[in-house]
Structure 1
């Protein structure tokens, strides 16, 4: 069977690159994307010039400006970024019909059947893609190449982003010499928690896992993490060895397992339950609206929050399982309110998150002798249709008119950022 040739194409500093292309006057200046009016807001993206001066993604705007006073902070335009991403998809589809979006700035391409049409080598196709994207959008791309999606991803993250040409191939010929010596935290899907677990097991590099017999690795994982870790062990062992049979599927969207919504909040504004309730209800409404759009109900309601009074800080995350699945606001809201009230320590909150899990399709649901649930569901779906047609602010709860409500401000944004 012919070995697959898969690419992961990644846009360099995607949001910031789009803004620099749109503002030629900032060509030689450090640029970051964030809200310049909110020093407590976060940096969503930074161009290489900004990164070279210490600016990092996810740090506060105020901290970034302290490091780099000449930093130009531009308010995000999410609809523009989405449109550019879709345009880049069209470019990739001119090389292959097997294009799978992975994120707004990363996409998998299976070019196995395209090699003879575009120069005969994967490197040549990669260079053509880079040239066409840069000419059309002003964005420089890096391309990781491999026989599997997992190797293409690790080739991009660990190598293509660091070599001058921005193209790198990981294959069975160089995986041992190039990938295996890397520290374990550079393996895909290994964060700080798993890094600590692997360190306890004496596994410090990717090769330390790859060279182990799978049975021995499972034994060590059970000892470290318990009897339920076999599936995790197999996943990490396969990742270290570059094994990934999953195909590139055009337009693939993963099955939804979680529906959530959250906010990072201005410190000191949300001090009392009276301040917090309007925001909590807005989060619940959006979670329920998304659930109805996707066709899922959920049984598990989770609330997470962070709070601080400037001296002490605290956070919590708690969940409750309902006796039946739902996506009705009054049921989700009652559970969320009860959880929050029980575990909140009465300090001003800086983050609030509502999550719906335990999902099941909404084509079958339990009726109620004391409540016309079918009527309530129909009413909610009718409100959704009005919002879809006339905008999310066409119908809002009265509580959103209070000072701490955000419904009108959020209605003009996409994903929490200005369109």
Structure 2
């Protein structure tokens, strides 16, 4: 590949990029569709190429690849993101069926509290009558649109869920996200649990069902607009619930990786989707604490001892040493351990990605730097050194500076003297000969 010919736009998401069909997937992600599309179009890939996003999130990469006619694979640990990414892939030909099916879905829905299990997580935020109505609506979607290939005797296969079912779940997610606004903190990715004696959310039947059918109608209209865009031949997008630290790709099975790994900024991605996971509870009984512990960038202390690995590179080693020596509270304990967890998981993931790439395959990673207190976490350089140890050679790097970052939302960051904003680096790697021979 001619790396200089890659078209690398700003990976910053803008309000303009969140309109139309993409506006229904407002989940935290690394880059907009325009960024992914421009990169893939300029990568000179053959028709049969396979694109992988191992941290697929809301499905920007798999959607963009599908629009361009490329087969793709998208991994994510969070079941919510499998649903969201599948809905995003719904073809425009389905637009005309959404509204009638939406009206049929809400017919006769009533709040029967007898259907609620005592441990239903919807009861964390909603009054019983409201939770019962939401659960009744979810059950109707499940009975109408989730078949035997998805809900099997051995458990739910989210990789088999239909685009229609996923779209209706996303419409219900949106209703619940909007209703749960009082429990969102200053961090826009965080949904907290109610405090003791705090009033729970109550809403009447008409308001909930009207909001749901309005969402379905709006999604149908936005999807129909996509029919005006040029369409490529059908391409398969395989979505899989997978952990990048342990999922071993078939050797040489991937032509290009395009992804944005979780940032090292202590964003709890599982907490960001608590309400969606609660809605999905009958499909996937996930303990949110366990999910949060598994994720890269977990805010929880790992359950095993981790030592600094020289293969992580000198930049990482120096950062870890500076963090551990920092005089602030818990630096040498909690924060030291959670950062070791992050870097160990990243190193394992990069090794699996390198193995899966074809000879001379390409990996493009969008990585953002950050700070621990006043200590610079140069994650782009750390990632470059880790990737080199895994057999990936950096061929091009493009930096974009932003005045605001997710980490800067915390008002306590102003306590320390450090550069404002963040640098988001687009790192372009090639699988080197040494890795091919392993």
**TM superposition score normalised by structure 2:** 0.25
- Of structures 1 and 2, the one scoring higher in RCO (CA 8 A, sep 6+) is 2
Q: Of Structure 1 and Structure 2, which has the larger fraction of its residues in strand?
A: 1
From the CA coordinates, give the structure whose radius of gyration is larger: 1
**TM superposition score normalised by structure 1:** 0.26
